[in-house]
Amino acid sequence: MAPVFPWTPSGLVSPDSPGAVLQLVRTAHASSRSEIARLTGISATTAATRVQALLDHGYLEEAGEGVSLGGRRPRQVRLRTTGGVVAAADLGGSHAALALFDLGGRLLVDRSASLRVQDGPESVLGWVHGQLAEMLDGLEGPAPLRAVTVGVPGPVDAQAGRVVTPARMPGWHGVDVRALLGRLVDVPVLVENDANLMAVGEYAATPEPGSHLVFLKAGSGIGCGVVIDGHLHRGARGAAGDISHASVGTDSDVPCSCGRIGCLDAVASGAAVTRDAAAAGLPVTDTTDVLRLAADGEPVSAQLLRSAGRATGEVLASVLNFFNPDTLVLGGRLSQAEPYVAGLRAVVYERCLPLATDALQVTVTRAGPLAGVIGGAHLALEHLFEPTRVNATVGSGAAGPATAS
The secondary structure of residue 4, as a DSSP letter, is S
Same domain, 224 and 294: yes
Same domain, 378 and 275: no
Same domain, 180 and 313: no
Query: Does pTM surpass 0.85?
Result: yes
- Residue 334 identity: L
Q: What does the pLDDT read at residue 271? A: 93
Run of H or E including 64: strand 60-65
Same domain, 352 and 224: yes
Q: Cα–Cα distance between 188 and 182 in angstroms, integer?
A: 7
Task: Report how many domains make up the chain.
Answer: 3
Torsion over CA of 196, 323, 306 and 263, rounded to 10 degrees? 70
**Chain centre distance of CA 352:** 27
Same domain, 348 and 315: yes
Question: What does the H/E/C string look like for 72-129?
Answer: CCCEEEEECCCCCEEEEEEECCCEEEEEEEECCCCEEEEEEEECCHHHCHHHHHHHHH
Same domain, 146 and 185: yes
**Chain centre distance of CA 303:** 31
Residue 399 domain flag: no
Bridge partners, 263 (sequence order): 247
Bridge partners, 235 (sequence order): none
From 79, 99, 131, the end of a domain falls on 79
| pLDDT average per 10 residues of sequence, the chain (405 residues) | 40 78 94 92 93 95 72 84 95 92 96 93 97 95 92 91 88 95 96 96 86 94 93 91 87 82 93 96 96 97 97 96 95 96 97 95 93 97 95 80 58
Residue 8 domain flag: no
From 35, 56, 79, the end of a domain falls on 79
Q: What does the pLDDT read at residue 241? A: 92
The secondary structure of residue 131, as a DSSP letter, is H
Run of H or E including 91: strand 85-91
The secondary structure of residue 166, as a DSSP letter, is -
Same domain, 58 and 105: no
Same domain, 211 and 360: yes
Q: Cα–Cα distance between 22 and 50 in angstroms, integer?
A: 9
In three-state secondary structure terms, 165 is coil
Question: What is the domain-level CATH number for residue 357?
Answer: 3.30.420.40
Q: Cα–Cα distance between 192 and 226 in angstroms, integer?
A: 13
Task: Please write the tens of the pLDDT for every residue from 241-278.
Answer: 999 999 887 677 888 888 888 899 999 999 999 999 99
Contact in structure between 61 and 67 (CB atoms under 8 Å): no
Let me know the angle formed at the C-alpha of 367 by 170 and 60, rounded to the nearest 5 degrees: 100
Task: Please write the tens of the pLDDT for every residue from 54-104.
Answer: 999 999 999 877 665 555 677 899 999 998 999 999 998 888 999 999 999
Range of the domain at 32: 18-79
Q: What does the pLDDT read at residue 64? A: 79
Q: Of the candidates 322, 405, 403, which has an alpha carbon nearest to the alpha carbon of residue 58? A: 403
Q: What does the pLDDT read at residue 164? A: 92
On the CB side of 341, CA atoms within 13 Å amount to 17
In three-state secondary structure terms, 62 is strand
Terminal Cα-to-Cα distance of the chain (whole angstroms): 25
The secondary structure of residue 238, as a DSSP letter, is S
Same domain, 61 and 106: no
Residue 1 domain flag: no
Q: What does the pLDDT read at residue 1? A: 35
Residue 391 domain flag: no
Long-range contact pairs involving 36-43 (C-beta distance under 8 Å, separation at least 24): 40/15, 40/16, 41/15, 41/16, 42/16
Same domain, 144 and 235: no
Residue 4 domain flag: no
Same domain, 317 and 333: yes
Run of H or E including 184: helix 177-185
Question: What is the domain-level CATH number for residue 55?
Answer: 1.10.10.10
Residue 361 domain flag: yes
Q: Cα–Cα distance between 127 and 120 in angstroms, integer?
A: 11
Residue 404 domain flag: no
Contact in structure between 137 and 131 (CB atoms under 8 Å): no
From 79, 101, 117, the end of a domain falls on 79
Residue 149 domain flag: yes
Strands 107-114 and 162-163: unpaired
Phi, psi angle pair for 400, to nearest 5°: -80, 180
Same domain, 150 and 180: yes
